[in-house]
């Protein structure tokens, strides 16, 4: 029945003599390559038709790779399965009018093919003779048996209306090729007619063709720019677009002029040109306000679309983050700590989304401290407020500082209760981090000696990297102070030696009401 329906697509094969045209064609038609090549060579002697045909196929037929890429890029058409799924046998009889019988892949090649040889043949006087043999076999073999008759009839009739309806049904992919083929076919027919002595009114036909061609170019251009403008505003090939538009316009104008002025004496042409320019000017004057209004509307709509996109992005973000969190909060309404934790985490996320400066360097010390604070906040559900002044590049030593600060924050969140305040100040001389909580404080005397958290993770770590850690604990809370002098600053905290009497005292004396006084080897609270 439909043995030859599953025809491989027409692509240039990689097994090639010159450009893979012949072997591709042979694959497609299911003929031996040898004969195709022989036929092609023979056709070359028929007024060079074979040469032209070969060149035409070379430029128009994609290689296998290109074809695969193109097909991959285009998502399956929604109607493709509906068209190709029903068994071809059943729909075959209705092929001429319904057209769904041949698979989508094969048939465009069929409809694309017939005009091709004819068009190519137009360059030589033997075009007419060359066309039909090549034109009909594909159509005939596409649908074998019963279907060959209707298919052949369609190919022979070549009725434009039928063609249009068919290729419309097939989603326009080959529309341009078909149009071009039809045009070239027409040219060929005219040339043949002249060959046989029929008087063709070229004086009328050429301007008409020019007008049609120009209009087609301009319209295609309009269509493309509109689509590009609506999809995205990158108008990379706008210059090319203008050139095409101008070319189309020039063609149309020239065509109209020649047609209107008849035989084409220059004087008449100029007069006609003047008249038409005057008319056009008048029309433009009248239509300009509408044009401007339309343009403005278009711009408004465009702006609206941009806003819409932005809104959609925000909505998506809110949905992914805030709404999810709110849903979670509702489900955990019983647990205050969970609710606080969720709210804080969401707040942080939203803040960073809204306010983070894209220009700000990520991966610097301040960001690291904030990230660590966020981690602690998530783990313990206690708010950790971070204030940073200045910033520094991350080094191994700074990483140690961050880790020590993290340990201190963990202790503060675990034992302090309430908000943990973190202050980081980085200057050329040194970097300091203060971690303060408002917990009940802890009595260092009562902390067992085997508790290594603070000793190792905070004090020891800071010392190993040339910094210091100081812990002050009182009834009103505990503050851990970490200081890391810059690598080139000579030993110790250069800043305390600065003009900062207050801070020096903070570090060392701190009598006040500090219960356990200055502790350099504190232990974590239990």
Partner 1 sequence: MSNTSQSGEPRSVRVVIVDDHTIFRSGLKADLDHRMDVVGEAGTVEEAIAVIAETRPEVVLLDVHLPGGLGGGGREVIAGSAALLGTTSFLALSVSDAAEDVVAVIRAGARGYVTKTISGAGISDAVIRVADGDAVFSPRLAGFVLDAFGTAPADIADDELDRLSARELEVMRLIARGYSYKEVAKELFISIKTVETHVSAVLRKLQLSSRHELTKWAAERRLL
442: nearest Cα among 497, 514, 364, 387: 514
> Least Å distance between CB 390 and partner 1?
7
| CB closer to partner 1 out of 276 and 486 | 486
| CB closer to partner 1 out of 224 and 385 | 385
> Tokens in use for 185?
């076919």
| CB closer to partner 1 out of 61 and 433 | 433
113: nearest Cα among 55, 73, 157, 53: 53
Question: What are phi and psi for residue 105, nearest 5 degrees?
Answer: -65, -45
> Least Å distance between CB 362 and partner 1?
17
Asked whether 23 and 16 are in contact (CB, 8 A), the reply is yes
| CB closer to partner 1 out of 151 and 409 | 409
> Least Å distance between CB 344 and partner 1?
9
Asked whether 271 and 248 are in contact (CB, 8 A), the reply is no
> Least Å distance between CB 379 and partner 1?
19
| CB closer to partner 1 out of 258 and 422 | 422
Measured in Å, how far apart are the chain's first and last C-alpha atoms? 88
Asked whether 460 and 499 are in contact (CB, 8 A), the reply is no
> Least Å distance between CB 389 and partner 1?
4
User: Residue 63: enclosing H or E segment and its boundaries?
Assistant: none
Query: Residues with Cβ < 8 Å from 418, sequence gap 6 or more?
Result: 382, 383, 437, 438, 439
> Tokens in use for 261?
């002025």
> Tokens in use for 159?
């009725």
| CB closer to partner 1 out of 173 and 427 | 427
Rounded to 5°, the CA angle 486-491-496 comes to 80
| CB closer to partner 1 out of 67 and 427 | 427
Strand pairing class (518-519; 468-474): antiparallel
Query: Which residue reads 């290729």 in tokens?
Result: 167
| CB closer to partner 1 out of 289 and 502 | 502
| CB closer to partner 1 out of 302 and 505 | 505
> Least Å distance between CB 213 and partner 1?
55
CA distance 397 to 395: 5
> Least Å distance between CB 427 and partner 1?
6
Residue by residue, DSSP assigns 7-44 as: PPP--B-SS-SSSSHHHHHHHHHT--HHHHHHHHHHHH
> Least Å distance between CB 434 and partner 1?
4
Q: What is the total residue count of the chain?
A: 526
Q: Is 123 exposed, middle or buried (0-12, 13-18, 19+ CB in 10 A)?
A: buried
| CB closer to partner 1 out of 338 and 503 | 503
Interface with partner 1 by CB under 8 A: which residues?
351, 355, 383, 385, 387-390, 419, 421, 423, 425, 427, 434, 436, 476, 479, 499-503, 506, 510, 512-513
> Least Å distance between CB 337 and partner 1?
16
81: nearest Cα among 96, 108, 100, 55: 100
> Least Å distance between CB 105 and partner 1?
57
């Amino acid at each position: 029945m439909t043995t030859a329906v599953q025809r491989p697509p027409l692509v240039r094969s990689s097994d090639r003599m010159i450009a893979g045209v012949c072997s591709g064609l042979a694959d497609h038609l299911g003929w031996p390559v040898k004969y195709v090549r022989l036929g092609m060579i023979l056709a070359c002697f028929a007024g060079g038709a074979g040469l032209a045909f070969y060149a035409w196929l070379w430029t128009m037929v994609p290689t296998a790779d290109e074809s695969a890429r193109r097909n991959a890029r285009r998502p399956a058409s929604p109607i493709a399965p509906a068209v190709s799924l029903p068994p071809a046998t059943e729909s075959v009889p209705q092929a001429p009018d319904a057209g769904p019988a041949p698979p989508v892949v094969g048939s465009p090649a069929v409809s694309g093919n017939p005009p091709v040889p004819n068009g190519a043949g137009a360059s030589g006087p033997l075009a007419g003779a060359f066309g039909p043999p090549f034109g009909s076999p594909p159509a005939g073999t596409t649908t074998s048996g019963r279907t060959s008759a209707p298919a052949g009839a369609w190919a022979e009739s070549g009725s434009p209306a039928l063609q249009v309806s068919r290729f419309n049904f097939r989603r326009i992919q080959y529309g341009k090729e078909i149009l071009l083929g039809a045009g070239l076919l027409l040219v060929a027919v005219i040339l043949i007619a002249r060959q046989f002595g029929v008087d063709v009114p070229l004086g009328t036909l050429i301007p008409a063709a020019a007008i049609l061609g120009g209009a087609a170019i301009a319209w295609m251009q309009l269509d493309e720019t509109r689509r590009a403008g609506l999809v995205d505003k990158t108008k990379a090939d706008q210059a090319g677009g203008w050139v095409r538009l101008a070319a189309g316009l020039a063609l149309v104008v020239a065509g109209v002029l020649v047609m209107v002025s008849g035989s084409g004496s220059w004087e008449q042409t100029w007069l006609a040109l003047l008249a038409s320019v005057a008319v056009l000017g008048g029309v433009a004057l009248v239509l300009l306000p509408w044009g401007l209004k339309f343009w403005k509307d278009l711009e408004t709509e465009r702006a609206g679309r941009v806003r819409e996109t932005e809104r959609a992005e925000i909505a998506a973000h809110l949905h992914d983050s805030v709404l999810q969190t709110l849903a979670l909060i509702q489900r955990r309404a019983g647990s205050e700590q969970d609710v606080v934790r969720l709210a804080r985490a969401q707040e942080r996320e939203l803040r960073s989304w809204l306010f983070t400066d894209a220009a700000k360097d990520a991966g610097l010390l301040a960001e690291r401290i904030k990230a660590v604070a966020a981690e602690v906040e998530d783990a313990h559900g206690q708010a950790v407020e971070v204030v940073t002044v200045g910033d520094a590049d991350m080094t191994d030593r700074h990483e140690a500082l961050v880790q020590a600060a993290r340990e201190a924050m963990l202790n503060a969140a675990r034992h302090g209760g309430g908000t943990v305040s973190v202050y980081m100040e980085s200057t050329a001389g040194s970097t300091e981090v203060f971690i303060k909580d408002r917990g009940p404080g802890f009595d260092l005397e009562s902390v067992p000696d085997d508790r290594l958290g603070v000793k190792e993770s905070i004090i020891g770590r800071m010392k190993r990297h040339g910094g210091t850690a100081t812990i002050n604990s009182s009834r009103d809370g505990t503050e851990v102070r970490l200081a890391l002098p810059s690598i080139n600053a000579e030993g110790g905290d250069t800043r305390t030696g600065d003009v900062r009497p207050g801070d020096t005292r903070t570090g060392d004396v701190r009598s006040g009401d500090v219960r356990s006084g200055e502790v350099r080897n504190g232990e974590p609270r239990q």
